[in-house]
Amino acid sequence: MLPSPILALITITGAALVSATNVAQLQAALAAGGVSAVYSTNSNYSTVTAAYNRRFTISPIAVAYPTSDQQVATAVKAGSQQGIAVVARSGGHSYIANGLGGTNGSLVVDLSKMKSISVRSSNNTALIQTGNRLGDVAVTLNAAGRALPHGTCPYVGIGGHSGYGGFGFTSRAWGLTLDTIKSATVVLANGTIATASSTVNADLFWAIRGASPSFGIVTSIEVSTFAAPSSATVFEYNWNKLNVSAASNAISALQTYAATNIPAELGLELVFGAGPSKNTVYMGLTGAYYGTGDYSTILAPYLAKLPKPSSKDITPGSYINSVATLGAPDSLNTSSKPDDTDTFYTKSIMTPEGSPMSAAAISAFVKYMANQGYTSDTAWFVEVELYGGSNSAINAVPLNSTAFSKRDILFTLQLYASSANYSPPYPADGVSFVNGMYNSIINASPANWSFGAYLNYADNQLANATSLYYGSHYARLKSIKGSVDPSNVFRFPIGV
Ligand SMILES: Cc1cc2nc3c(=O)[nH]c(=O)nc-3n(C[C@H](O)[C@H](O)[C@H](O)COP(=O)(O)OP(=O)(O)OC[C@H]3O[C@@H](n4cnc5c(N)ncnc54)[C@H](O)[C@@H]3O)c2cc1C
Ligand SMILES: *[C@@H]1O[C@H](CO)[C@@H](O)[C@H](O)[C@H]1NC(C)=O
Ligand SMILES: *[C@@H]1O[C@H](CO)[C@@H](O)[C@H](O)[C@H]1NC(C)=O
Ligand SMILES: *[C@@H]1O[C@H](CO)[C@@H](O)[C@H](O)[C@H]1NC(C)=O
Ligand SMILES: *[C@@H]1O[C@H](CO)[C@@H](O)[C@H](O)[C@H]1NC(C)=O
Ligand SMILES: *[C@@H]1O[C@H](CO)[C@@H](O)[C@H](O)[C@H]1NC(C)=O
Ligand SMILES: *[C@@H]1O[C@H](CO)[C@@H](O)[C@H](O)[C@H]1NC(C)=O
Ligand SMILES: *[C@@H]1O[C@H](CO)[C@@H](O)[C@H](O)[C@H]1NC(C)=O
Ligand SMILES: *[C@@H]1O[C@H](CO)[C@@H](O)[C@H](O)[C@H]1NC(C)=O
Ligand SMILES: *[C@@H]1O[C@H](CO)[C@@H](O)[C@H](O)[C@H]1NC(C)=O
């Protein structure tokens, strides 16, 4: 028996006022549409609502498991009719648990029962349902000799990844994952199943390529695929101990090297971690080369600027081997084992190509890593990912042709600190450690420095988040949001 709705507010802490009647009506609407769902009263609720980032404990109203576009539409309508926020979950790897709503009291539309992929050889496209994860997408495309640009972690979902960006070592040649989208099927706030392409719902098509979570649930994307390269070499160099000047030089020399005529088929990043003693850092140089000829000749001018590495690991092989090497220890087929978890806080900085990091900013940053980084009780790393440089396909896309907010990026920096054992509790000083690292760069940079932040490295504690995440696109995004989701059904932290 349901008691009076006013007296029986569902005890989901922090949720907007959702009554037992609302939940009962949601449940009835989902059941009527044949959509299975898990509620807080079910024994598997805590398992299905566990966040990848265990810094977050989120209690959604329900997690629905649609099997078709029509069922996704049923779920969206059922949630919006009860005033409940609706969010999609693809791989669940959001850094701030936005796949669970990011805050309590949402309806999660989990896409894991929508995993078809069809590769069309007639026009080199693939139609990919957004319940898929990157490893499975790579395996399936590769079986047909095709490939897509995307990140390295096999368990990341294609839904979130392609909605906000999607960077991997093929991106300098092929662009971000979102740059490959030709059309999409999107369930809108009112339950309409819409097509979006350059010719149909062009505003929506623009918005979902950079900010999709705020505009609808993308149930499938049609992407342009690339011929899988005939070979690929993954390289990793390690410096176990670099002093501040050598590590600073490695960053500034990369800025210089990137501006020389390096091929698009070269992708790389620097990785930093705690050094073996104060005033030192660990550094790695990881990347892959997908072109013809010897990668080492191409990389030689950069390596010549660095001390001799402590070790190196070079893995030549097929394209799919390179995806597997970069994804290790996870295997590409994600049905082989369940997903991992972590407990972490992250910030990002996208640096402008026309105004790279200053010597002062690099020095302050490296000093911070070598000192505060040495004493930090977190397990931290920094990635300096090369988005730009000569011949980068990412920056060749005109800024206004998608909602992705920056097309003049040299580096995307990821500042990432986990708890020491990757499990809760998160140390009390973890967030301030990352903020201090971020500030070491920003405070030593020009006041008008036109940097940005990357939505796939989501941070819900970022000052000036709207401007850093959405840049000059925000006004247009707001206007499209007003027409396709006027009552803000798709709402969550750092959304439009
Ligand atoms: C281990 C690890 C490695 C990573 N490596 C890389 C990397 O190499 N390169 C890179 O660019 N990024 C990388 N990322 C970041 C990753 O791209 C983002 O976390 C991404 O948003 C995760 O997508 P998801 O579908 O797994 O997450 P989810 O939590 O399911 O979704 C993320 C956001 O997208 C929304 N969303 C999901 N599916 C849809 C959909 N179909 N329609 C509309 N909205 C949707 C969700 O509501 C949520 O707001 C990595 C993350 C992790 C955890
Ligand atoms: C969300 O709910 C959980 C469990 O009920 C609770 O621990 C947490 O504090 C709530 N979060 C917020 C932001 O209220
Ligand atoms: C959750 O448990 C119910 C039975 O209690 C089961 O029917 C359902 O399939 C489970 N769902 C998931 C996603 O595990
Ligand atoms: C590609 O071909 C498929 C049929 O094989 C078709 O449905 C689709 O519309 C085509 N896409 C483009 C972008 O031409
Ligand atoms: C992953 O492995 C399972 C079980 O062996 C198989 O059914 C599935 O087709 C594989 N997935 C891909 C993408 O190859
Ligand atoms: C820093 O390391 C470099 C490279 O190993 C070395 O040449 C240089 O002398 C070192 N500087 C200091 C101050 O120790
Ligand atoms: C991009 O669009 C904005 C408006 O959204 C406009 O002000 C700007 O001039 C455009 N930029 C280019 C390069 O077209
Ligand atoms: C930033 O300010 C400096 C002077 O402090 C000026 O030279 C430069 O042009 C400005 N850059 C931008 C992008 O406004
Ligand atoms: C936020 O960004 C805007 C636009 O770039 C800038 O003018 C403003 O100074 C920034 N504010 C803060 C607090 O950083
Ligand atoms: C649903 O919203 C879309 C976008 O605003 C609109 O074009 C469509 O007419 C709406 N459908 C209904 C049934 O209201």
Residues with CB under 6 A from ligand 1: 52, 87-95, 98-99, 111, 130, 151-153, 156-157, 159-161, 163-168, 212-213, 217-218, 456, 492
Question: Could you tell me where the DSSP H helices lie in 269-318?
Answer: 295-303
Q: Does any ligand 2 atom lie closer than 6 A to the CB of residue 329?
A: no
pLDDT at residue 6 tops 80: no
Range with the poorest average pLDDT among 12-21, 119-128, 427-436: 12-21
Question: What pLDDT shows up at residue 18?
Answer: 86
pLDDT at residue 99 tops 50: yes
Pairing, β 232-243 against β 226-227: unpaired
* d(CA 335, ligand 5 centre) in Å: 7
Q: Which of 16 and 462 is assigned the larger pLDDT?
A: 462
Mean pLDDT of the chain: 96
Full-model pTM: 0.96
Cα separations in angstroms, 120 against 134, 144, 145, 198, 277: 18, 9, 11, 20, 54
Confidence of residue 2 (pLDDT cuts 50, 70, 90): very low
Residue pair 262/298 in contact by the 8 Å Cβ criterion: yes
Residue pair 494/460 in contact by the 8 Å Cβ criterion: yes
| Mean pLDDT to the nearest integer, 80-102 | 98
Percent of the chain with pLDDT strictly greater than 70:
97
Residue that has been written with the tokens 């695929």 in this structure: 225
Residue that has been written with the tokens 């407990």 in this structure: 343
Question: What pLDDT shows up at residue 63?
Answer: 98
| Mean pLDDT to the nearest integer, 173-191 | 99
pLDDT at residue 116 tops 70: yes
- Amino acid type, 318: S
Nearest to 54 by CA among 339, 432, 417, 424: 424
Kindly identify the ligand whose nearest atom is closest to the C-alpha of 342. Answer: 1
* d(CA 448, ligand 8 centre) in Å: 6
Q: Is 457 a catalytic residue?
A: yes
Question: What pLDDT shows up at residue 15?
Answer: 55
Kindly identify the ligand whose nearest atom is closest to the C-alpha of 267. Answer: 1
What does the alpha-carbon distance between residue 221 and residue 212 come to, in Å, rounded to a whole number?
A: 12
Kindly identify the ligand whose nearest atom is closest to the C-alpha of 165. Answer: 1
pLDDT at residue 408 tops 90: yes
Q: What is the pLDDT of residues 23-54, one digit of tens each?
A: 999 999 999 999 999 999 999 999 999 999 99
Residue pair 94/344 in contact by the 8 Å Cβ criterion: no
* d(CA 233, ligand 5 centre) in Å: 25
Domains of the chain (ranges; CATH) run 9-110 (3.30.43.10), 117-228+474-483 (3.30.465.10), 232-467 (3.40.462.20)
Question: What pLDDT shows up at residue 10?
Answer: 47
**From start to end of 244-321, where are the E strands?**
266-274, 280-289, 311-317
pLDDT at residue 4 tops 90: no
pLDDT at residue 223 tops 70: yes
| Mean pLDDT to the nearest integer, 431-436 | 98
Per the residue annotation, which of 155, 454, 457, 470 is the catalytic one?
457
Q: Which helix (H) or strand (E) holds 129?
A: strand 125-129
| Mean pLDDT to the nearest integer, 361-384 | 98
Q: What is the pLDDT of residues 475-486, one digit of tens each?
A: 999 999 999 999
User: If you take atom 14 of ligand 8, which residue's CA is the nearest one?
Assistant: 448
Q: What is the pLDDT of residues 260-273, one digit of tens each?
A: 999 999 999 999 99
| 130-117-30 Cα angle (round to 5) | 45
Confidence of residue 17 (pLDDT cuts 50, 70, 90): confident
pLDDT at residue 372 tops 50: yes
Nearest atom (ligand 9) to Cα of 468: 2
User: If you take atom 7 of ligand 1, which residue's CA is the nearest one?
Assistant: 151
Confidence of residue 8 (pLDDT cuts 50, 70, 90): very low
* d(CA 197, ligand 4 centre) in Å: 12
